[in-house]
Amino acid sequence: MLCVLLTWINFQFAQANPGGEDFLINWSAMRSFITQGQSPYAIETSQNIMAEYKVLETSSIGSLPKFSLPLYGMLVYSPFALIADFVMARALWMTFLELCLIAIVLLSMQLTYWKINPILLSALFLFGLFGFHGIMPLLDGNLIIPVTLLVLGILITIHNKQDEAAGLLIAFTTILPVPVGLFLVFVLVWVIGTHRGKIIAWFSATFILLIGFSFAILPSWVIQFLTNIIGSYREIDPGTPGDVLISRWGAVGERFAIGLSIVIVLILVYEWWQAIAGGQKRFIWTALLTLALGTWSGIKTSPLNYVLLYPALIMGLELLFERWKIKANGFILVILALLFIGNWSIFLLTMSENFQTGVSSFLFLPLPITTILLLYWSKWWVIKSNSVELKSRLINLK
């Protein structure tokens, strides 16, 4: 019943508000492939997508939109591509993303088993569902939301020693390789270092099957995929805080950017090495820290992908609560309120007249800085209380 209601609301919204550009690219590319047998990576497909932009009166863009997912991404988008009406397909996709956002908040709390009171629970849902980093990828139809859910699934299944499921989830998370690349590298390094061979076996078998399935469907897909993803990656501007420094300070900014990337890499190498010898809580803490630091590592991304940091932020807040107990409630509410108001204020003050934005460079700062500070402030506590109890209940209300 909830899904039907959400879909009806989303349909009314989609009819009145053109958008969903990210979903449109992937939906249209998959639809061309399924109905016409046309490669989703072809220039002709990009031209068709551009024509869809104009018909649907979505925002104009300066270059041809490109399908830049691995071909096995069709497993996600094919059910929606079977729907000829884009508005209906977008409404159903938005419902799927909304359910994913709800699950992200719930599972992030399960990850640390936060005994949360109703006020904080409401605040977390308000922030998670209606904050800038939840609403904007939802309106864009961005795949980053379900991928964030997969990331949480990886952490929970590894902790619960459900190695087969963990291997499967790691393989499917490669559907969006750039934003989660460092995270996946760390997880695989940790798995190898802790001798969890079954995870590697299931990941390898699943990944080989996905690649093999893709070759059977379209033998030339790899070269086409690499061409498109490299092209799309180059078009992200600015894609890192380093790009912002370079654009503002030139050669001096470039040296700062290189220095920042080197520092981040050295920190990650050290933390990864420490995590292999640590326990479960250290592993989860390091995995989430990797997601947060990855936004400043020099790998291009967008603040629209920062929903990936929700689990890290919630763990940081939970660790704050673990240290201060009841006294932390007010502080946590202040942090969430400042992030909520601050991010929306930055967006509203910097958006263009048609409500589109390349996303202000200032949005590279609030959520990553807050998350990194919270995680490092609680590092000693993580090391000393190196255990995570994942119970059967998703939330324990006080």
pLDDT tens digit string along 316-340? Answer: 999 888 888 888 889 999 999 999 9
Place 397 in a pLDDT band, splitting at 50, 70 and 90.
Answer: very low
Q: What number of other Cβ atoms are within 10 A of residue 48's Cβ?
A: 18
What residue spans define the domains of the chain?
2-397
pLDDT above 50 (res 32): yes
Predicted pLDDT at 111: 85
Predicted pLDDT at 271: 94
In Å, the largest CA–CA distance within the chain is: 61
Pick from 68-77, 172-181, 277-286, 365-374: least confident: 277-286
For the chain, give the mean pLDDT: 87
What is the amino acid identity at position 345?
S
Predicted pLDDT at 358: 52
For the residues 167-187, what does the mean pLDDT come to? 95
Quick check: bond before 65 cis, omega within 30?
Answer: no
Please report how the helices 74-81 and 86-112 are oriented relative to each other, as an axis angle in degrees rounded to 10. Answer: 140
Spatial separation of the C-alpha atoms in residues 321 and 29, rounded to whole Å: 46
pLDDT above 60 (res 393): no
pTM, to two decimals: 0.91
pLDDT above 60 (res 390): no
pLDDT in tens, 203-243: 999 999 999 999 999 999 999 999 999 988 888 776 677 67
pLDDT in tens, 131-173: 999 999 999 999 999 999 999 999 999 999 999 999 999 999 9
pLDDT above 90 (res 83): yes
pLDDT above 90 (res 51): no
pLDDT in tens, 13-27: 999 888 899 999 999
Nearest Cα to Cα of residue 379 among 313, 335, 316? 316
196: left (phi over 0), alpha (psi -120 to 50) or beta: beta
pLDDT above 50 (res 355): no
Q: How far is CA 18 from CA 23, 140, 226, 352, 354, in A?
A: 12, 10, 30, 16, 11
pLDDT above 60 (res 297): yes
